[in-house]
Amino acid sequence: MLEKDRIFNFEKIDVEYVAHILSTDKYDQELFEFANEVREKYVGKQVHIRGIIEFSNYCVQNCLYCGLRRDNKKLTRYRMSLQEIIDRAKLIASFGIKTVVLQSGEDFSYTTDDISYLIREIKKLNVAITLSLGERSFEEYKVWKELGADRYLMRHETANPQLYAALHPNDSFEIRKSHLFYLKKLGYETGAGSMVGLPGQTPYDLALDIAFVKELDADMIGIGPFIPHPDTPLANEKGGDLKTCLKMIALARIAVPTANIPATTALGTINPFGRELGLKWGANVIMPNMTPNPYRPNYSLYPGKICVFENDTACANCVKQIIKRAGLIVSDDYGYRKKEVVIA
Ligand code: 5AD
Ligand code: SF4
Ligand code: FES
C-alpha cells in the first residue's frame, strides 16, 4: 500500500521514500488516484490556459540537452520585433486567454527597457504576464516586477548539483537556486521544474527534484521528458519515458497541492495522449503555442515538437478539447495560485 502520510502534508519530503515509489510500479495506480484526489480538493476541476510566445531562439547558454544552445550552428535563428510580440499578445487576449507567457533563449539583445516596454504594453490588455527569459540580473527582475510582471518561469532542470554542472557549462545549481529564491522573494509567482530521463539521472535524483520544488514552495512546476536532440552533444542518449513523467507530475501535485502544474508540450510530444494523461493525474495548466509562423518551427528545443506544422492559432482551440477529453473544465480566470484552502 502507498503510505500517503509519508508524501503528503510534510514540511520536508521523505526523499528515500519518494525514490522508492519511483523505482517500482507497485504503487502507480494508487499514486495516480491520490494525485487526482489532491488536485480535485486543492485546485478543483478548472484548467488554466496560458498562451506562449517564443519570441527569440537566440541563446548565450550552451545547455548540453537543448537545440537552442549557442553552439548549434544548424539552427535558423530569429528574433521577433517588439511590435510583433505585442500584436501576438493582443491576439492571445482576443481569444479570451488570460495569461501571456513571454519565452526566449537567454537573449540579452532585448534590453531591460525593451522588456519593460513589453510589460507596460501587454498589461494594458488585462492579462497576467509570465516571463521566461532565463537567468537575467536581479535588478532587472525587480524592475519588471514593479512594472507588473506577475510570474517568472525558470526550471531548475535537475536538483542533483553534479548532474546540473555536467549539463550546464558556466552555471551551477547554487546559482540557479539563488535566482529562484530571489524571484520568490520579490513576489513573483515562481515556476521551477525539471526534466525526466536525463543521462545518468536516478530515481533518487528525481526525488530530489520533488524535494526542491517543495523547499522552494514553487508556485508552478513544469515537468517533462528529456528528448535527445540530434544537433546536441546528447544526441545518442535515451530520453525520458511517459510513465515516469506522469508519476513525477503526480508526486509534484501531492508535494505542493496548490501549485499550478502544466501538462507540458514535451509530454505531448512523446505520446499523443501525454497531455491528457498529465491533466488526469495532477496537472491543471496547459500552454498552447501561440508563436507565429514562420518562426515557430525554429524554436526547436527538442526534435518532433508538436504543434509546429499547425495553423498558428490552432492550439488555442485544440487545448480546450484536450481539457474536455480529460473530463476537466476550461477556466476563465487568471489562474493565480490558489491559497491553501481545501475546496469542500
Ligand atoms: N528535451 C526536453 N526538454 C528540453 N528543454 C530544453 N531542451 C530539452 C530537451 N532536449 C526544456 C528545459 C527548459 C525548457 C524551456 O525546455 O527544461 O527549461
Ligand atoms: Fe538556452 Fe534555455 Fe536552451 Fe539552455 S535550455 S540552451 S538556457 S534556451
Ligand atoms: Fe497544438 Fe493541439 S495543442 S495542435
| 149-189 residue pLDDT tens | 999 999 999 999 999 999 999 999 999 999 999 999 999 99
Q: Give the predicted TM-score (pTM) of the model.
A: 0.98
Q: Are 264 and 224 in contact (CB under 8 A)?
A: yes
Instruction: Output Rg (C-alpha) for the chain, integer angstroms.
Output: 19
125 domain-assigned: yes
97 domain-assigned: yes
C-alpha distances (whole Å) from 282 to each of 35, 179, 278, 308, 327 are 5, 27, 6, 26, 13
- Residue 341 is predicted with a pLDDT of 64
Predicted-assembly ipTM surpassing the 0.85 threshold? yes
Rounded Cα–Cα distance for residues 164 and 35 (Å): 28
Average pLDDT over residues 324-331: 98
CA of 3 to the centre of ligand 1 (A): 32
**Which ligand lies nearest to the CA atom of residue 232 in the structure?**
1
CA of 266 to the centre of ligand 3 (A): 12
Place of cell 530571489: 182
Q: 69 in ligand 2 pocket by Cβ < 6 Å?
A: yes
In the predicted model, is pLDDT for residue 271 greater than 80? yes
- Residue 310 is predicted with a pLDDT of 77
343 domain-assigned: no
CATH number at 228 reads 3.20.20.70
Tell which atom from ligand 1 comes closest to the C-alpha of 65. 10
Residue of 24, 89, 77, 96 lying closest to 290 (CA atoms): 89
242 domain-assigned: no
Q: Are 287 and 259 in contact (CB under 8 A)?
A: no
**Protein residues whose CB sits closer than 6 Å to any atom of ligand 3:** 288-289, 307, 310, 314-315, 318-319
136 domain-assigned: yes
Place of cell 506562449: 52
Q: What is the pLDDT of residues 39-82, one digit of tens each?
A: 999 999 999 999 999 999 999 999 999 999 999 999 999 999 99
Mean pLDDT of the chain: 97
**Which ligand lies nearest to the CA atom of residue 106 in the structure?**
2
185 domain-assigned: yes
Tell which atom from ligand 3 comes closest to the C-alpha of 286. 3
Domain interval for residue 132: 47-201+219-237+260-330
342 domain-assigned: no
89 domain-assigned: yes
Per the structure, how many domains does the chain have?
1
Q: Which residue's CA is the nearest one to ligand 1's atom 18?
A: 155
- Residue 190 is predicted with a pLDDT of 98
Q: How confident is the model at residue 342 (pLDDT cuts 50, 70, 90)?
A: low
Q: Which residue's CA is the nearest one to ligand 2's atom 2?
A: 105
**Which ligand lies nearest to the CA atom of residue 168 in the structure?**
2
Amino acid, res. 193: G
CA of 175 to the centre of ligand 3 (A): 34
- Residue partners of 173: CB distance under 8 A and separation at least 6: 156, 158, 159, 160, 161, 164, 165
Find the helix or strand (DSSP H, E) in which 223 lies.
strand 220-225
**Which ligand lies nearest to the CA atom of residue 270 in the structure?**
1
